[in-house]
Amino acid sequence: MAKPKKQPRPKAETPKGFRDYFGAEVTERGDMLAKIAAVYHRYGFEALESSAVETVEALGKFLPDVDRPNEGVFAWQEADDDGRGDWLALRYDLTAPLARVYAQHRNDLPTPYRRFAMGPVWRNEKPGPGRFRQFYQCDADTVGAPSVAADAEICAMLADTLEEVGIPRGDYLIRVNNRKVLNGVLEAMGLEDDTQKDAVLRTIDKFDKVGEAGVRELLGAGRKDQSGAFIDGVGLTPEQAEPVLAFLTSKGTDNAATLANLRAAVGEAAIGAEGVDELSEIANLLEAQGYGPDRIVIDPSVVRGLGYYTGPVFEAELTFEITDEKGRPRQFGSVAGGGRYDDLVKRFTGQAVPATGVSIGVDRLLAALRATGRVGGQAEGPVVVTVMDRARMADYQAMVARLRQAGIRAEVYLGNPKNFGNQLKYADRRGSPAAVIAGSDEFERGVVQIKDLVLGAQIAETATLDEWKERPSQFECTLDDMVERVRAIVDGEA
Amino acid sequence: MAKPKKQPRPKAETPKGFRDYFGAEVTERGDMLAKIAAVYHRYGFEALESSAVETVEALGKFLPDVDRPNEGVFAWQEADDDGRGDWLALRYDLTAPLARVYAQHRNDLPTPYRRFAMGPVWRNEKPGPGRFRQFYQCDADTVGAPSVAADAEICAMLADTLEEVGIPRGDYLIRVNNRKVLNGVLEAMGLEDDTQKDAVLRTIDKFDKVGEAGVRELLGAGRKDQSGAFIDGVGLTPEQAEPVLAFLTSKGTDNAATLANLRAAVGEAAIGAEGVDELSEIANLLEAQGYGPDRIVIDPSVVRGLGYYTGPVFEAELTFEITDEKGRPRQFGSVAGGGRYDDLVKRFTGQAVPATGVSIGVDRLLAALRATGRVGGQAEGPVVVTVMDRARMADYQAMVARLRQAGIRAEVYLGNPKNFGNQLKYADRRGSPAAVIAGSDEFERGVVQIKDLVLGAQIAETATLDEWKERPSQFECTLDDMVERVRAIVDGEA
């Protein structure tokens, strides 16, 4: 008889491009999202948690008649009775599910419908350093409000949100632009050919990267990029390209000056004038609520994703400098962006529904808060009650229960207590502020030893051998005083 | 030329068995989980958020050599360069990922490792009424602690957790049993045949459903079930079956009596005596911390999942009555369960690692809190600032900003303002406590009208036409008094 084949041990690994989050990584993100949710709630937005799984049909980008539609999304086919069910997929953002939810539940939802959503999304892309295939998004959108008052509201809310999570006024700037102004510029240029229009749009999208001179070259004959490769240009004459450059560089010393420049750039185009009017109205609405251009400003150089949006677009930037991995100072950059998109629900219902919204880059904002010391830093490990005498476990448990009932984070050491050094190493690894020690002698006398590990760590860094020997970081107190003495250490008052 | 085929509109539907959660459904669950997390944190447990996607190999239940291993899980095959990549799947619980995480990161994690995890899991099962294919789990586990002190700690933490979320003492009971005691009973019965052993185990698992008499029949000749079908029995003689029934019914008037009955039931079996000793130690540890049998009690009738666990098992029950859908009172029942399982990590590393943990049924606990009015109830819709004059939008926005800055949830009506009735209907649908109204007359005089919608709803239920006409629920105040007058309504002091 053949031996049964021995199964090899499975590998203990996350799939490529996925990762786990531990301890403070989880709780700090949760705390930040809770603060954001509180602001959104105050603005009248309602929480929505849609299912992580959607039909590929509803997600829309991918068609079920492709044999394996897994480009960009994680998708699989349901096994129904005929063996050929719907294609399902993990959501790749929170906007496509919003469109599906709104179309499905529109009769039960208020109009306008303000909602926020927070949660993981999944992308079936090649993972890279710092690039994961599962990450958090945090969105707020208003569906069914055609007025730019809805866009202005989102900008104001974004400013409040950044301040709420810990970015002080002056350290951020929300820049607002309008896709209609750009359309006006294209119209004023007299571009008729759609291919050429698209080429101009793609070039404008590169403004952030290549700057004014680069855009000028790319609109004209072309440009050598950093690698030395030559990128063909759109082929416009310098005169033809001028309105685009006027548009991109029309930021003035204040909103009024910028608006005047933009009005000039769009010339006679009606759509462009409409866009400028909208920007003017947004600025007025925000001024009336106290959001001046020091916080929210009209800035035509905001070009990201212009192709996707149909009206106002906005982007939040952190303006303070951080030190990058090579030790050079650089601006932190964008942490949120959004705008108006009016065609999303139409796919389902045939009716256009106006919508506008913002998405916060959760990981980037959290990184900014960490980089500036506004999140994290101090350890908040538990107090560890060590085990000197295994038979006394009930007493140790009673001690730790006392600490917890006083609201102090605490635990009994539950590993093998034989080697006491291991218990202190464990406390160290846990970032414990204090260890409580009691053996038969202490129990007899109704006292405990308390080791101040915060002070101990400070002494370890600076003390001489003699100072070490005095061990001032360890002291004795009565069992009844234990809670208060430990609390003093935890609160940094020892 | 053939006409391009017109794409039909996609259906706006969640996939079968999935659902969306709106507003309070999301925030109430979030609030409950935050309270649970605070208790777990106080006990020294660390948050862990593992990826939602695992390799099928790591999940373990399903083998990659099956063509489509989607039984029970949602799985798909990665497209690598050869077109044949790893099979990936959505996690079906939080325990299998914990085993993978511990095996992967064990050198960087403290031992013992206490962790909690909260989040959605996915099951590829036939959906039914109230049965969804995505739902929340909330687990706490201690890995690497062999002592039953770890099991006792989990039970104490579970009691604290239930009280923290709003279940008062007396309304819950945590029942503790031990798989080793059952093994002792089987040994005492002298059952050698594994098939017969398994049949006895399966029968014991039915104790909750069929009761003592039913188990007696099923251990013997067999039993007619409710549908009239005859279920074959295990075929034991009444004498052989006696120890099993003694075990299941050994609960005494106090823990000491129960332990004495169990000691008798296991006879000479060493493993059984070990199990009884462990239960005795758990009871002592809990008593020392103040958790008496009114909260945590030894109860041998806890049999669920005994096959999976290797030592202590526990289950939390809510003991108060609710009214079921047919109007009959019934006990609410189980909301959490867990126990010791020592073989999970071994699959990866070859080394057995002791582990114990608990899983809270998030939806059931939330339903219990709602059923008893401890969660939900009062509306907390936003104050709605209505729009009488579209040209005054900046003024309305300034008013709403004032309310928000005072911490009051508020929004401007952003739908079409033409029909004022629609604005009040909107406020009603939003559950607004108050509407603020201002037209050109009010702006001229520096006042606003405030409609108390809470009072209005009360009047609408009880008032006569004359009372209606007086409209006492609407009043005028100065713009400067608006915040305080609205706050009085929101706080229920108007």
Asked if B78 lies within 8 A of A12 by C-beta distance, the reply is no
Smallest Cα distance from B468 to chain A, Å: 27
Same domain, A417 and A439: yes
Smallest Cα distance from B242 to chain A, Å: 35
Confidence (pLDDT) at A471: 55
Whether B61 is covered by a domain: the verdict is no
Whether B68 is covered by a domain: the verdict is no
Q: Mean pLDDT over residues A468-493, rounded?
A: 86
Residues of chain A with C-beta less than 8 angstroms from the C-beta of B411: 43-44, 114
Of B11, B104, B290, the CB nearest to A57: B11
Same domain, A179 and A102: yes
Q: Mean pLDDT over residues A402-408, rounded?
A: 94
Whether B358 is covered by a domain: the verdict is yes
Q: Please, which pLDDT band fits residue A145 given cuts at 50, 70 and 90?
A: very high
Q: Please, which pLDDT band fits residue B376 given cuts at 50, 70 and 90?
A: confident
The DSSP bridge pattern shows strands B447-452 and B474-478 to be antiparallel
H-helix segments, B68-193: 95-105, 148-165, 179-188
SS3 category, B418: coil
Of A14, A88, A156, the CB nearest to B51: A14
> Choosing among A21, A42, A106, which should be mutated to test the B contact, i.e. which has the most B CBs within 10 A?
A42
Residues of chain B with C-beta less than 8 angstroms from the C-beta of A22: 46-48, 105
Give the tokens for residue A432. Answer: 């414990």
CATH number at residue A288: 3.30.930.10
Confidence (pLDDT) at A467: 61
Highest mean pLDDT, choosing among B92-101, B122-131, B234-243: B92-101
Smallest Cα distance from A215 to chain B, Å: 37
Confidence (pLDDT) at A461: 72
Mean pLDDT estimate for chain A: 88
> Choosing among B5, B7, B26, which should be mutated to test the A contact, i.e. which has the most A CBs within 10 A?
B26
Residues of chain B with C-beta less than 8 angstroms from the C-beta of A401: 156, 289-290
Whether B48 is covered by a domain: the verdict is yes
Sheet with A383-385, strands from edge to edge, namely A410-412, A383-385, A434-437, A447-452, A474-478
> Choosing among A76, A81, A366, which should be mutated to test the B contact, i.e. which has the most B CBs within 10 A?
A76
pLDDT at position A66 over 60: no
Same domain, B364 and B428: no
Confidence (pLDDT) at B324: 74
Residues of chain A with C-beta less than 8 angstroms from the C-beta of B153: 397, 412, 414
Same domain, B459 and B344: no
Spatial separation of the C-alpha atoms in residues A269 and A180, rounded to whole Å: 10
Smallest Cα distance from B138 to chain A, Å: 14
Of A21, A51, A349, the CB nearest to B20: A51
SS3 category, B207: helix
Spatial separation of the C-alpha atoms in residues B437 and B449, rounded to whole Å: 5
Residues of chain B with C-beta less than 8 angstroms from the C-beta of A98: none
Confidence (pLDDT) at A333: 86
Query: How many alpha carbons fall within 13 Å on the CB side of residue A233?
Result: 17
Confidence (pLDDT) at A494: 62
Domain boundary among B349, B371, B393: B371
For A311-320, B318-327, B425-434, which range has the lowest pLDDT when averaged over its residues? Answer: B318-327
CA-nearest residue to A392 within chain B is B285
Whether B62 is covered by a domain: the verdict is no
H-helix segments, B190-269: 194-204, 207-219, 238-248, 255-266
Same domain, B364 and B392: no
B364 assigned to a ligand binding site? no
Give per-residue pLDDT as tens, B27-63: 999 999 999 999 999 999 999 999 999 999 898 764 4
Of A47, A70, A150, the CB nearest to B27: A47
Spatial separation of the C-alpha atoms in residues A91 and A73, rounded to whole Å: 7
Domain boundary among A338, A371, A404: A371
pLDDT at position A275 over 90: yes
Same domain, A34 and A146: yes
Smallest Cα distance from B106 to chain A, Å: 10
Of B10, B120, B400, the CB nearest to A347: B10
pLDDT at position A428 over 50: yes
Same domain, B44 and B120: yes
pLDDT at position A69 over 50: no
Of B88, B110, B153, the CB nearest to A15: B88
Contacts of residue A370, defined as CB under 8 A and 6 or more positions apart, other chains included, come to: A28, A376
The residue segments making up the domain with residue B304 are: 24-52+91-371
Same domain, A340 and A459: no
Whether B70 is covered by a domain: the verdict is no
CA-nearest residue to A346 within chain B is B9
Residues of chain B with C-beta less than 8 angstroms from the C-beta of A103: 12
Asked if B12 lies within 8 A of A348 by C-beta distance, the reply is yes
Q: Please, which pLDDT band fits residue B457 given cuts at 50, 70 and 90?
A: confident
**Cα dihedral: A245, A251, A256, A262 (round 10):** 20
Smallest Cα distance from A467 to chain B, Å: 30
Mean pLDDT estimate for chain B: 88
Same domain, B327 and B417: no
A356 near A340, Cβ under 8 Å?
yes
Whether A74 is covered by a domain: the verdict is no
Give the tokens for residue A297. Answer: 């400003």
B141 assigned to a ligand binding site? yes
Same domain, A358 and A472: no
Asked if A51 lies within 8 A of B14 by C-beta distance, the reply is yes
Top pLDDT among B154 and A71 is at B154
φ and ψ at A340, to 5 degrees?
Answer: -95, 135
Smallest Cα distance from B241 to chain A, Å: 36
Q: Mean pLDDT over residues B315-319, rounded?
A: 94
CATH number at residue B451: 3.40.50.800
Asked if B44 lies within 8 A of A13 by C-beta distance, the reply is no
Confidence (pLDDT) at B189: 83
Spatial separation of the C-alpha atoms in residues A44 and A116, rounded to whole Å: 10
pLDDT at position A67 over 50: no
Give per-residue pLDDT as tens, A115-130: 999 999 999 888 888 7
Number of domains in chain B: 2
Of B26, B27, B110, the CB nearest to A426: B110
Highest mean pLDDT, choosing among A1-10, A296-305, A435-444, B334-343: A435-444
pLDDT at position A65 over 80: no
Domain boundary among B371, B404, B431: B371
**ipTM greater than 0.85, yes or no?**
yes
pLDDT at position B203 over 50: yes
CA-nearest residue to A80 within chain B is B126
Confidence (pLDDT) at A62: 46
Same domain, A317 and A223: yes
C-alpha dist (Å) from residue A470 to A425, A464, A465, A467:
21, 10, 9, 5
Asked if A50 lies within 8 A of B14 by C-beta distance, the reply is yes
Whether A66 is covered by a domain: the verdict is no
Residues of chain B with C-beta less than 8 angstroms from the C-beta of A160: 404
- How does DSSP classify residue B492? T
Same domain, B260 and B281: yes
Smallest Cα distance from B222 to chain A, Å: 35
